[in-house]
Amino acid sequence: MKWITRERPKIDRIACPWLIRRFIDPEAEIIFAPVADIPRLAVELEATPFDIPDTEFTHYEDRCTFDFFLEKYRLTDPALQRLALIVRGADTDDHSVAPEAAGLWAISAGLAFNTPNDYELLEKGMLIYDSLYSWARHLYKEKHTQNPTEKLLLEIFHKYLHQKKIEKKKIPAWAVELKDIIQDQMDTNLSLSLKEISEGLQVNPTYLSREFSKYFDNLTFGEYIRKLRIEKAMQLLNSSQHSLSEIAYLTGFSDQSHFTRIFKKYTGQNPSYYRKNFGKSKEDTKG
């Protein structure tokens, strides 16, 4: 069977001939021609056109011609399905489809640049897709780094880079303003609500809730406010004669029982014991 497509192939027009010869017709003849000549040559040579507009074997929506061949000939080999993602990503410039897509594009572009003859280019491309298929069938789960210690070090290194990237990320204006709002409330009962804050900042509450932890010690809004309440309570326990009920009110807790429970959760001791120990440590320091 004869197949005809546009000259100067790179991705789809190499991948499809490979697929045809390896899984559909080993004796298939592939013809490359100027796009303007393809309608005439297809009739004269009784060749099926592919990867050109207005033909059956072409792109559909976000799928490329390679995808259509798989569907048309019911090729369900899992390795071919993995390979299809790489071809699609490289051919459509959507490298997010598969991490290997960018590499396939780079190799294919370089190969085409170095090989002016389309038929020689096809033969070299066949070797590339044979290799990719072997990877997709037998090796796709393997990693280049095999040493466990080296792999662990790389994981730690990448986590470090990710953290540094977050740290360098510019803090948005709403986060700066929110820190100021919370700081201004330190001398009140800290009865802030996410809904009220989102309205004041003119920020969507769902977005605010999702993004909050990135800029506030990796804590949720509720956790961060409770942390500030406990810190304020510790200051009051250390420097005032307020009763525990009064401190609970001043730090925004519903009652003394709630205050005691949360304080113990955060500090490991109840408020009265904390105050007693702090007073004792001051006396020891004086002595």
> What tens digit of pLDDT does each residue of 148-205 get?
666 666 677 667 666 666 555 567 776 777 766 665 555 554 566 777 777 777 778 7
**Residue labelled with tokens 């072997």:** 134
Q: What is the pLDDT of residues 214-235, one digit of tens each?
A: 888 888 877 887 888 888 889 8
Q: Which position has the higher pLDDT, 130 or 145? A: 130
Question: Mean pLDDT, to the nearest integer, of 126-131?
Answer: 96
Q: Could you tell me the strand order of the sheet in which 47-49 lies?
A: 29-33, 2-6, 47-49
Angle between helices 221-239 and 256-267 (to 10 degrees): 100
Residue 256 has a pLDDT of: 85
Average pLDDT over the chain, rounded to an integer: 84
Question: pTM for this one?
Answer: 0.53
Residue type, 117: N
**Residue labelled with tokens 């074997």:** 57
Long-range contacts for 212-215 (Cβ within 8 Å, ≥24 apart)?
214/166, 214/169, 215/171, 215/172, 215/175, 215/179
Residues 6+ apart with CB under 8 A from 35: 6, 7, 52
Task: Please tell me the distance from the alpha carbon of residue 284 to that of residue 278, in angstroms, as a whole number.
Answer: 10
Residues 6+ apart with CB under 8 A from 200: 181
Long-range contacts for 68-75 (Cβ within 8 Å, ≥24 apart)?
69/16, 69/19, 69/20, 69/24, 70/19, 73/23, 73/24, 75/19, 75/23
Residue 283 has a pLDDT of: 53
Task: Please tell me the distance from the alpha carbon of residue 107 to that of residue 101, in angstroms, as a whole number.
Answer: 10
Question: Mean pLDDT, to the nearest integer, of 241-261?
Answer: 83
Task: Please tell me the distance from the alpha carbon of residue 156 to that of residue 145, in angstroms, as a whole number.
Answer: 14
Domains recognised in the chain with CATH numbers: 2-139 (no CATH), 173-286 (1.10.10.60)
**Mapping DSSP to helix (H, G, I), strand (E, B) and coil, where does residue 49 land?**
strand
Task: Please tell me the distance from the alpha carbon of residue 137 to that of residue 125, in angstroms, as a whole number.
Answer: 18
53 in Cβ contact with 12 (< 8 Å) = no
Question: Mean pLDDT, to the nearest integer, of 114-126?
Answer: 97
Q: What is the pLDDT of residues 38-75, one digit of tens each?
A: 999 999 999 999 999 889 999 998 899 999 999 999 99
Confidence of residue 109 (pLDDT cuts 50, 70, 90): very high
